[in-house]
């Protein structure tokens, strides 16, 4: 049984070692040395060149190295009948929860203001408010959003979530669908975006929806850059309607050198590193899925390509 691997060159070695440790029986073919395409059963990929997967006639499943699958959906030749599985693994989930908790605490504790004061050599206290007075809204209550929401609750923040279908998560107020969006936004002092990029979510945060947030709200976007209309966010940051933003993802990546986000005083930015798939725990998850599938059981976390996630 052979698995094609096409990931990031720098971490290829760690993946090879992890896959060999978890499944010594699996023949690993690292792109571009793919050998006989007809002998490949599974693919584990990030941003494969368009057409690569279409050229594998006996492919049984495609595993995305990331939780997002937009890097696959953009391939016009993606084989339509081969299941696509998104990445769900504990390392990726833990990393995202760390990033979200860190970012929410950063805004909650006025760190953007203190950084500005530090640069101005100003020694001035800002009155602190308790977590119970800071309402956090998590957009996207999937695997990552639910884990982050649970951890945020443990700090004492009132936490709400917004998703396509209603959720019952202990302690988390659930809002769902287009009809639930205005009320959800209206009570999010810190808005965390953990939605996938789909036809329905692209541009969801625009001048109109940003205006529904409480004045001075902060935004943490670690979902996808195209969820936000960036020019609308900049305008809202410039006039103070949005008090600050932590941005890990952008419509264009790498972020162009001329982007005003780079040196905006109310923005913290990171280069799409909110979380990373950890080769060891991810290899264990992929190998478990392959074994399950080979034993005739269904794959988990299969993407509905028509829905986009
Ligand atoms: P899931 O598929 O588990 O969850 C997606 C969530 O989004 C679900 O709650 C879903 O609702 C909700 N959703 C999707 N479309 C809509 C819609 N139109 N309206 C309302 N809610 C919607 O994904 P994950 O939690 O695993 O990952 C989320 C995203 O995080 C990834 O797609 C990726 O883009 C991003 N990501 C970013 C990383 C980074 O480093 N910056 C790292 C990893 C992931 P429902 O539950 O009702 O289906
Ligand atoms: C992603 C990931 O989807 O890194 O961005 O998992």
E strands, 74-226, in order: 84-85, 136-139, 159-163, 172-176, 190-193, 217-221
Instruction: Write down the catalytic residue from 22, 107, 134, 224.
Output: 224
Query: Residue 10's pLDDT band (boundaries 50, 70, 90)?
Result: confident
3-state DSSP assignment of residue 287: helix
Query: How far does residue 107's CA lie from ligand 2's centre (Å)?
Result: 23
Question: Mean per-residue pLDDT for 252-279?
Answer: 98
Q: Considering the chain, what percentage of its residues have pLDDT values greater than 90?
A: 98
Per residue in 165-188, pLDDT tens?
Answer: 999 999 999 999 999 999 999 999
- What does the block give as tokens for 38? 């007809």
Mean pLDDT score, 34-40: 98
Domain 2-89+277-294 has CATH 3.30.1330.20: no
Which ligand is located closest to the Cα atom of residue 64?
2
The CATH label, of 3.40.250.10, 3.40.50.620, 3.40.50.720, 3.30.300.130, for the domain at 91-269 is: 3.40.50.720
Rounded to the nearest integer, the mean pLDDT of the chain is 97
d(CA 149, CA 140): 10
Tally of helices (H runs) and strands (E runs) in the chain = 9, 12
Q: Which two tokens stand for residue 31?
A: 């792109």
Q: Give the relative orientation of helices 279-294 and 12-22 as an angle to the nearest 10 degrees.
A: 40
What is the Å distance from ligand 2's center to 36 Cα?
A: 29
pLDDT band of 8, cuts 50, 70, 90: confident
Give the closest ligand to the alpha carbon of residue 180: 1
- In tens, the pLDDT along 51-98 reads 999 999 999 999 999 999 999 998 999 999 999 999 999 999 999 999
Q: How confident is the model at residue 12 (pLDDT cuts 50, 70, 90)?
A: confident
Q: pLDDT at position 9, please? A: 73
Query: Does ligand 1 come within 6 angstroms of the Cβ of 53?
Result: no
Cα(306) to ligand 2 centroid in Å equals: 20
Model confidence pLDDT, tens digit, residues 285-297: 999 999 999 999 9
pLDDT of residue 219: 99
Structure confidence by residue, pLDDT tens digits, 183-238? 999 999 999 999 999 999 999 999 999 999 999 999 999 999 999 999 999 999 99
Q: What is the DSSP string of 240-264?
A: TSEEEEEE---SSSSPPTT-TTTT-
User: Would 2-89+277-294 and 91-269 be classified into the same CATH topology?
Assistant: yes
Best residue for ligand 2 mutational test, from 8, 249, 272 (most atoms within 8 Å of Cβ): 272
The pLDDT of residue 14 is: 92
Q: Is the pTM of this model over 0.75?
A: yes
Ligand 1 atom, smallest distance to 195 CA: 7
State the distance from the centre of ligand 1 to the C-alpha of 301, rounded, in angstroms. 12
Is the minimum distance from the CB of 67 to ligand 2 under 6 angstroms? yes
Active-site residue (options: 272, 291, 292, 307)? 272
31, 98, 88: which is closest to 65 by C-alpha? Answer: 88
Task: Please state the domain extents for the chain.
Answer: 2-89+277-294, 91-269
């Amino acid at each position: 049984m052979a698995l094609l691997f096409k990931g990031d060159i720098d971490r290829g070695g760690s993946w090879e070692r992890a896959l060999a440790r978890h499944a010594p029986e699996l023949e690993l073919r690292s792109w571009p040395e793919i050998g006989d395409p007809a002998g490949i059963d599974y693919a584990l990929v990030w941003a494969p060149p368009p057409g690569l997967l279409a050229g594998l006639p006996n492919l049984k499943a495609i595993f995305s190295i990331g939780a997002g699958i937009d890097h696959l959906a953009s391939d016009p030749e993606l084989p339509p009948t081969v299941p696509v599985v998104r990445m769900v693994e504990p390392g990726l989930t833990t990393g995202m929860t760390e990033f979200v908790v860190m970012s929410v605490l950063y805004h909650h504790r006025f760190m953007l203001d203190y950084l500005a004061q530090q640069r101005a050599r100003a020694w001035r206290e800002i009155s602190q408010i308790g977590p119970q007075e800071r309402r956090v809204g998590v957009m996207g209550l999937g695997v990552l959003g639910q884990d982050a929401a649970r951890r945020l609750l443990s700090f004492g923040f009132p936490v709400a979530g917004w998703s396509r279908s209603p959720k019952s998560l202990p302690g988390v107020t659930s809002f769902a669908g287009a009809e639930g969006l205005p009320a959800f936004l209206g009570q999010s002092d810190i808005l965390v975006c953990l939605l996938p990029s789909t036809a329905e979510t692209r541009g969801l945060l625009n001048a109109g929806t940003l205006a529904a947030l409480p004045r001075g709200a902060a935004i943490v976007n670690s979902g996808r850059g195209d969820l936000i209309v960036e020019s609308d966010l900049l305008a809202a940051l410039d006039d103070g309607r949005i008090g600050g933003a932590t941005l890990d993802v952008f419509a264009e990546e790498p972020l162009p050198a001329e982007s005003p986000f780079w040196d905006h005083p109310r923005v913290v930015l990171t280069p799409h590193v909110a979380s990373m798939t950890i080769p060891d725990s991810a290899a264990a998850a992929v190998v478990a899925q392959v074994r399950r599938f080979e034993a005739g059981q269904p794959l988990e976390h299969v993407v509905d390509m028509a829905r986009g996630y």
